[in-house]
A and B are shown apart, each in its own frame.
Chain A
Amino acid sequence: ILNVEQSPQSLHVQEGDSTNFTCSFPSSNFYALHWYRWETAKSPEALFVMTLNGDEKKKGRISATLNTKEGYSYLYIKGSQPEDSATYLCASPLSGGGADGLTFGKGTHLIIQP
C-alpha cells in the first residue's frame, strides 16, 4: 500500500490571497501524481495528472509542480475566490499500467473567506 500524505489538513484563506499546499508520496516506483478538486455535493473533478519530474501544469489560477526525486507535489491557487472552496485530493496509482486504482491522501480542505 502506498503512503500518500497531504498537508495541511485544512486551510482558511482570505479572498484574493494566494495559497499552496503539499502532497508527498514515495519517490521509488513513481508512475504518476493526480490532483482532484472535490466540491461539496459534487463529484471529484480531475485537475491535473503529472508524470515527469519537474512537470508544471496550469489551469486558470491553479497550478501544480512535481518533484519525483524527493517525492512531493505542490498545488498553488493564485488570487483565491469563493468558488475555490473545496477539498483538494492528491493520489498516486498502484502501478504504471493505467488501470490499477489510486491511493489517495486525506485531502486538504480549503475554505475561502470573503
Chain B
Amino acid sequence: DGGITQSPKYLFRKEGQNVTLSCEQNLNHDAMYWYRQDPGQGLRLIYYSQIVNDFQKGDIAEGYSVSREKKESFPLTVTSAQKNPTAFYLCASSIADRAGQPQHFGDGTRLSIL
C-alpha cells in the first residue's frame, strides 16, 4: 500500500543529544513537510522540501535540521539547540504542482526528554 512511514513511534532524548526522526514515502510525491504539534496549538511547519536536494525553513526551524537526498526520504534531526523538543512530530507529503493538492500524513513520532 502507498503511504508515509514515520519511525520510531516514540523517541526519548537525553539533554544535549541530537536525535533523528525518519520519514519515508512511496507515493512518488515531490514535496515533503515536517510539522510539530504542541498541546493547545495548531500544527506548525518546521521545514519543507519541494524537490530532492532542496529544502526551506518553515515557521519554527530553529534547533532543527533536515536533508533530502532521496525523493522518498526526508529525515528530521532535532538538535541540542532545540530547547523545548518535547512534542508530537508529523511528516507529510504532497504533489507539488499547485496549492490545491492535499497533504498525506504519517502516523507521527512522539518525542520526550529524559
Residues of A within 8 A of B (CB): 1, 4, 31-32, 34, 36, 42-46, 49, 51, 89, 91, 93-107
Contacts and interface: CB of A to CB of B under 8 A. Distances in A.
Contacts of B99: 31-32, 51, 93, 95-98, 100
Contacts of A4: 42
A101 B101 contact: no
Contacts of B105: 36, 43-45
A69 to B, nearest CB: 18
A99 B106 contact: no
Contacts of B59: 1, 103
Interface residues of B, number: 32
Given A1-B59, A43-B90, A103-B45, A98 B101 contact: yes
Q: Which of A44, A93, A99, A102 has the most CB of B within 10 A?
A: A99
Interface of B: 4, 30-31, 33, 35, 40-45, 48, 50, 56, 58-59, 90, 94-108
18 contacts: A34-B102, A36-B102, A43-B4, A43-B90, A43-B105, A44-B105, A46-B103, A46-B104, A97-B50, A97-B96, A98-B99, A98-B100, A99-B48, A99-B96, A100-B48, A101-B33, A104-B44, A106-B40
Nearest to B42: A104
B103 A102 contact: yes
Given A31-B99, A91-B43, A97-B50, 15 more contacts: A36-B105, A42-B107, A43-B90, A43-B108, A51-B99, A51-B100, A98-B96, A99-B50, A100-B99, A101-B33, A102-B45, A103-B42, A103-B59, A104-B43, A106-B41
Contacts of B30: 99
A102 B94 CA distance: 11
Nearest to B3: A43
Given A4-B42, A43-B90, A104-B43, A98 B98 contact: yes
Nearest to A100: B48
Nearest to B43: A104
